[in-house]
Structure 1
Amino acid sequence: MCIDHPFALSRRRALGLGIGAASTAFLGGFALPTGAWAQDPAPAPNAISPDEALKRLMDGNARYAANAQSNRDYSAGRAARAQAQYPFAGLVSCADSRVSPELAFDQGPGELFVVRVAGNFVNIDGLASLEYGVKFLGVPLIMVLGHTNCGAVDATIKVVKNNISLPGHLDDLVDNIKPAVEIALKEKPQDPLNAAIVENVRFNVKELGEANPIITEFVANGRLKIVGGLYDLSSGKVSLI
């Protein structure tokens, strides 16, 4: 699909610019509302180091994979969460119904700030959401979480190899996954799907790490870490990439 518009941005350029160019005009006319969308930059409950946040995630996944979850009472803290949210990690996760980040990492409501889209890629809307989580909610860690047997990546491989088009808006989705798939296929891997899934995670970790102005600033000063993970559908285990 060709977008012929003077303000159209490429995906890479859009990620690089973030929302900084428009933030002054936007915030000048529309102040952030009170409540959940106006938290302090570093609220105490999640003011932990990126490494501690990662350990908390991985420990939770170990409990989930062992079927020894600790989170069972989801009503606990509901009244407090109505006033504010303090997630300790942000996730870019696939929309696949078999992948549920809160369950996979054994976390309760309010613990994770999740952006989900088929193929777990970062577009401008997802970036803006993550920027909000980092800047205003104090999220110290972002994980890009891929998973085995990803249908969105598999479809993209077929599009690239066979030069076909998909119905509806699926081609737009595939366009966001193509760069990683093309990198993976150049290496002629024995398992193209697995290689492309892993490369898609790496590609989006790199894209996020270069996303100006907010993400790069927080990474540079050590207040934010971006990592990649792969969720195995069969075992429930997450391995770091």
Structure 2
Amino acid sequence: MASPRRTFLAATAVGALAAAPPPTAGVPRPRPVTDRPVTARAALDRLLAGNRRFASGRPRHPHESAGVRRTLAAGQHPFAVVVGCVDSRVPPELVFDQGLGDLLCTRTAGEVLDEAVLGSIQYGVEELRIPLVLVLGHERCGAIAATLGHVRSGAHVPGHLELLVAEIAPAARRTRAVPGDWAEHAMRAHAAWVRDAIRADPAFAPAQVDAARFDLDTGLVSLLP
């Protein structure tokens, strides 16, 4: 059974924030630093192209110059929101070979959603008009592994880790009987659930929401169905 918090997030997300007037209404939005993607398809293509550069060992490290820093000091115009994991091996800016001002990233263990994360995504979609939200799971995720251990044993989860396990456990239970790698199946199912929870919330209706998997061995990102 899904946790009450998980059900609440899926049903309501940040409706209260959506109802409030944006704090910067009427203020001109910052102009892009360079030619940035303005559609979700173009944004996704740029992310995947950057990932191919990263995986092949030929990153460009764009938008890191002093001139870009000076321009960004006046405002930002990122083209994608990445909802990722805190794992040190999966930094979105490096994985997608992007630079300063390109990505708006939120990172929690196992891509777990809470109100702060949802509000941050909404800020990107509503205030910065970002066309794409990408949920990025990855193989050998520690949060997934910890959750599988809890589901196996039923042992008490200490402290703040309880929230993480509670949010990931439904995906772990749904995939427990699937043949093959349980951790892999659970990771994919959880990333897809996070994607679907964001998609279902009207606060994020202006954006396209996708989910993807990062392969630690190859460095490649692949979209999840």
Please give the TM-score of this superposition, normalised by the length of structure 2.
0.88
Structure 1, residues 23-61: CA drift from partner, whole Å, max 9, x if none?
Answer: 55x65xxx7269xxx663x95654611111000000000
Q: Which amino acid aligns with 1:135?
A: E
User: Contact (CA 8 Å) 1:189, 1:195: kept in 2 or not?
Assistant: no
1:137 maps onto 2:128 in alignment: yes
User: Contact (CA 8 Å) 1:53, 1:141: kept in 2 or not?
Assistant: yes
1:20 to 10, 15, 18: 15
Residue equivalent to 2:208: 225
Unaligned 5+ segments in structure 2 are none
2:164 to 173, 181, 184: 173
**Aligned pair count?**
217
1:188 maps onto 2:178 in alignment: yes
Residue equivalent to 2:41: 51
Give the Cα–Cα distance (whole angstroms) in 1 for the partners of residues 28 and 135 of structure 2. 24
Residue equivalent to 1:62: 52
User: Contact (CA 8 Å) 1:12, 1:207: kept in 2 or not?
Assistant: no
Give the Cα–Cα distance (whole angstroms) in 1 for the partners of residues 28 and 50 of structure 2. 26
User: Alpha carbon RMSD of aligned pairs, Å?
Assistant: 2.2
2:203 to 206, 210, 214: 214
2:114 to 102, 123, 131: 123
- Percent identity over the alignment is 34
- Mean alpha-carbon deviation: is it higher for 166-175 or for 155-164? 166-175
Question: 1:111, CA displacement in angstroms?
Answer: 0.3
Please give the TM-score of this superposition, normalised by the length of structure 1.
0.82
Give the Cα–Cα distance (whole angstroms) in 2 for the partners of residues 180 and 70 of structure 1. 37
